[in-house]
């Protein structure tokens, strides 16, 4: 039995993949196997992975609201606009101990460059945030070479120096991009790449989930983000401000849902 991926390619249906997916959403193995069995019964040859995603989401909701939320991480990040994604990454890196500066203009040897983030711990990083609305497309060689050119021009300019470039994306990297980055010592953080440094794991390690994973409408999510409530921790830490902006009833519901993830 074959299913159709988002890029139009077909692949063999793999029940074990469903189990792994559910377990990454923090569902225990026993329940994950039960979900996989139910999904298998509802899948026929030619079913799209988008349809399977919705089936899994529906089943997770029956078992664990928390797992349902966690399962939405990838979709939630893909829905962010580029500026919100940059601010989300800034918050994420700060949670992991980096000092960050957002949206800087830095003079290079030849031209000025707009830099998404500067991140520092023992090393200094020029951070480029690559957010794609389609979470299934690759971050490619061209984007990686562009970041290296920016780093090189800035470092040659002499006024600022970065130890490394760091590309953070919500998608995967092409094989050419990976090889180029390895040769140029560019740090890569993408969807499940590299495992210890992947975007998914960095988010889960600090429970810094975006508000878009909650069961609220897109308009409310957009209003939350515009008012600085980008993550569920922003919601929990600023409950009073949330109430004054959105009303006590909606604020209570948002806080209640957010609390289930911490």
CB-CB neighbours of 129 under 10 Å: 21
Task: Specify the pLDDT at position 244.
Answer: 92
Give me Rg for the CA atoms of the chain.
Answer: 20
Indicate whether 194 pLDDT > 90.
no
Beta bridge pairs of residue 164:
125
pLDDT tens-digit readout, 197-218: 899 999 999 999 999 999 999 9
Cα maximum dimension of the chain: 62
Task: Specify the pLDDT at position 159.
Answer: 84
111: confidence class by pLDDT, cuts 50, 70, 90: very high
Residue (of 161, 165, 124) closest to 143 by Cα position: 165
**DSSP one-letter string for 62-114:** HH-HHHHHHHTHHHHHHTS-HHHHHHHHHHHHHHTT-EEEEEEEEE-SSSEEE
CATH topology for 210-259 is DNA polymerase; domain 1 (1.10.150)
Helical segments of the chain, H only: 15-24, 29-41, 49-63, 65-71, 73-78, 82-95, 141-157, 175-184, 199-206, 218-226, 232-237, 239-246, 248-259
At residue 216, the 3 state secondary structure works out as coil
Whole-angstrom distance, CA of residue 182 vs CA of residue 89: 22
Name the residue with higher pLDDT: 194 or 241.
241
Task: Specify the pLDDT at position 79.
Answer: 94
Task: Specify the pLDDT at position 158.
Answer: 80
**Cβ-contact 51, 44 below 8 angstroms:** no
Name the residue with higher pLDDT: 262 or 103.
103
Beta bridge pairs of residue 119:
100, 125
The domain locations on the chain are 2-71, 77-206, 210-259
- What is the percentage of the chain residues whose pLDDT exceeds 70? 100
Backbone angles phi, psi at 177, to 5 degrees: -65, -40
Residue (of 62, 63, 43) closest to 53 by Cα position: 43
At residue 52, the 3 state secondary structure works out as helix
Q: What is the mean pLDDT of residues 183-191?
A: 97
Task: Specify the pLDDT at position 262.
Answer: 86
Residue 188 has which token pair? 């890569």
63: confidence class by pLDDT, cuts 50, 70, 90: very high
What average pLDDT does the structure give for the chain? 94
pLDDT tens-digit readout, 5-34: 888 888 999 999 999 999 999 999 999 999
Task: Specify the pLDDT at position 189.
Answer: 98
237: confidence class by pLDDT, cuts 50, 70, 90: very high
What CATH number labels 77-206? 3.40.1350.10
pLDDT tens-digit readout, 157-181: 988 899 999 999 999 999 999 999 9
Whole-angstrom distance, CA of residue 262 vs CA of residue 17: 26
């Amino acid at each position: 039995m074959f299913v159709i991926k988002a890029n139009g390619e077909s692949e063999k249906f793999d029940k074990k993949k469903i189990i792994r997916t559910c377990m990454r959403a923090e569902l225990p193995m026993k329940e994950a196997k039960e979900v996989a069995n139910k999904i298998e019964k509802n899948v026929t040859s030619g079913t799209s992975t988008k349809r399977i995603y919705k089936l899994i989401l529906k089943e997770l909701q029956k078992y664990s609201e928390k797992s349902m939320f966690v399962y939405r991480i990838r979709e939630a990040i893909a829905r962010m606009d580029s500026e919100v994604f940059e601010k989300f990454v800034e918050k994420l890196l700060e949670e992991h101990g980096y000092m960050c500066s957002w949206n800087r203009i830095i003079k290079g040897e030849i031209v000025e460059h707009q830099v998404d983030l500067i991140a520092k711990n023992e090393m200094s990083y020029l951070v480029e945030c690559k957010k794609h609305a389609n979470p299934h497309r690759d971050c490619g060689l061209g984007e990686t070479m562009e970041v290296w050119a920016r780093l090189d021009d800035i470092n040659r300019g002499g006024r600022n120096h970065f130890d490394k470039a760091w590309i953070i994306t919500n998608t995967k990297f092409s094989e050419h991009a990976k090889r180029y980055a390895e040769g140029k010592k560019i740090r890569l953080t993408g969807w499940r790449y590299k495992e210890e440094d992947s975007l998914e794991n960095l988010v889960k390690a600090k429970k810094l989930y975006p508000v878009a994973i909650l069961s609220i409408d897109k308009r409310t999510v957009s209003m939350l983000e515009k008012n600085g409530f980008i993550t569920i921790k922003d919601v929990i830490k600023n409950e009073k401000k949330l109430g004054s902006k959105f009303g006590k009833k909606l604020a209570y519901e948002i806080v209640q849902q957010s609390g289930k993830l911490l």
